[in-house]
Amino acid sequence: MVEVKGVTKIYNGKTVVDNVSLTIPKGKITSFIGPNGAGKSTLVSMMSRLLSKDQGEIHIDGMEIGEYKSHDLAKKLSILKQTNHLNIRLSVRDLVSFGRFPYSQGRLTKEDQDAIEQSLAYMELESMQHQYLDQLSGGQRQRAFIAMVLAQDTEYIMLDEPLNNLDMKHSLQIMRVLQRMVDELGKTIVLVIHDINFASCYSDYIVALKDGKVVNQGMKTNIINENVLKEVYDMDIHIETIRGNRIGIYYT
C-alpha cells in the first residue's frame, strides 16, 4: 500500500502540489486525471523519489520512501516517465536487461536471464529483441520500456502518461497489457493519464487533481460523472454508459 500524507511541492514560490493525501490500494489500477498543470506528474515523481518533497510523508508498505535504501526501493517500486529519449543506442534486449540492475548490479545471472526472457515474451517483443530502439515505432518502443519495468519485477509500477503520442491501437494494446499485469501478476499500477475514457474503462480507482489539490478520489464510478468532471476540467462532459463502461463525450 502506498500512503501519501500531506505532501507539498513548491517550485519558486508556486505551490504545485498542495497538501495532498491519498492511499493507493494494492493489486489495482489507480489513475490520476486532471488538467495540465494539476500536479499529477509532480506527485507521481515524488511518490517514486525522482523529486524531493517539501512537506509530508510517503509510505510504501509502512516505511517512508526516504528511509529505503536506493536499491531496495528499486525492487519494490518502478517508475516510467513520459519522455524516454536515450542518448545511447540500445537493442530491445539490452534495455530490458537494465531492468535487472537492482538485482544483478550489472552482472546478469541465470535467474536474471530468465526474467528478461519472460518479460520479453509477456510484451511480445521476442521477435524484435535484437533490433535497436531507434528502429522501432513509438508503440513498440513504449512496450520495450514497459518490458524493462516488468523485468524489474516490482510490486508497484508507476507510469507517467504511458499513452503519450500513441495511436488508438497501441494505446489499447498498452492498457490491455497493464490490466493483464494486474490480474495475472498481482501488480499495483499507478497511471497518469489524460484520456478519461481509458481511465474509466481500465482503472479501479481514480484520483482527480486540480491546481495541486485532490478534487475527488474513489471508485471510478464515483469519479466519472458529470458533476465531478465539470469541477475538474471546467467543461461539460456528457457521460453515457456504453456496453457497461461509462464513457465521456466531449468532442463537440
Partner 1 sequence: MNHTWRLGILGILAVLFIGLYMFIDIGPYWDYVLPRRAKQVLAIVLVGGAIAFSTVVFQTITNNRILTPSIIGLDALYMLIQTLIVFVFGSMTLVTMNANIHFLMSAGLMVVFASFLFRLLLKREGNHIYFLLLVGIIFGTFFSSISSFMEMIIDPNEFVVIQDQSFASFNNVNEDLLMISIVMLVAVGLYFIRYMKYLDVISLGRDHALNLGVPYDRVVKHLLFIVVLLISISTALVGPITFLGLLVANIAYQFMLTHKHSLIIPGAVLISIASLACAQFLVTRVFTFETTISVIINFLGGVYFIYLLLKENKSW
For partner 1, the binding residues (CB under 8 A) are 48-52, 70-75, 78-81, 84-90, 94, 98-99, 101-102, 105-106, 134, 152
Please identify, using beta-carbon distances, which residue of 50 and 172 lies nearer to partner 1: 50
Shortest Å, Cβ 65 to partner 1: 11
Shortest Å, Cβ 198 to partner 1: 23
Closest by alpha carbon to 196, among 252, 138, 249? 249
Contact 228, 215 (CB under 8 A): yes
Closest by alpha carbon to 7, among 76, 59, 55? 55
Contact 213, 225 (CB under 8 A): no
Please identify, using beta-carbon distances, which residue of 19 and 82 lies nearer to partner 1: 82
Shortest Å, Cβ 92 to partner 1: 13
Please identify, using beta-carbon distances, which residue of 81 and 210 lies nearer to partner 1: 81
Q: Is 8 exposed, middle or buried (0-12, 13-18, 19+ CB in 10 A)?
A: middle
Please identify, using beta-carbon distances, which residue of 86 and 249 lies nearer to partner 1: 86
Q: Which amino acid does the sequence have at 79?
A: I
Shortest Å, Cβ 184 to partner 1: 23
Shortest Å, Cβ 111 to partner 1: 17
Please identify, using beta-carbon distances, which residue of 152 and 217 lies nearer to partner 1: 152
Q: Which three cell numbers stand for residue 223?
A: 469519479
Closest by alpha carbon to 199, among 223, 226, 165, 230? 223
Half-sphere exposure of 246 (CA within 13 A, CB side): 17
